[in-house]
Amino acid sequence: MKINRLIDHTLLKPEASREQILKLCEEARNHHFFSVCINPFNVQYAVSYLQGCDVRVCTVIGFPLGANTTEAKVFETKQAIKEGAHEIDMVINIGAIKNKDWDYVKQDIKAVVNAAESRIVKVILETCLLNDVEKIKACEMAAQAGARFVKTSTGFSTSGAILEDVQLMKRNILPTMEVKASGGIKDLASAKAFIAAGATRLGTSSGIAIVNGFEAEKGSY
Which residues are tagged catalytic? 89, 151, 180
Distance of alpha carbon 25 from alpha carbon 18, whole angstroms: 11
Q: Are 27 and 37 in contact (CB under 8 A)?
A: no
Counting beta carbons within 10 angstroms of the beta carbon of residue 171, is it exposed (0 to 12), middle (13 to 18) or buried (19 or more)? exposed
Strands 149-151 and 120-124: parallel
Q: Which residues contact 122 (CB under 8 A, 6 or more apart)?
A: 58, 87, 88, 89, 90, 147, 148, 149, 150, 151, 180, 201
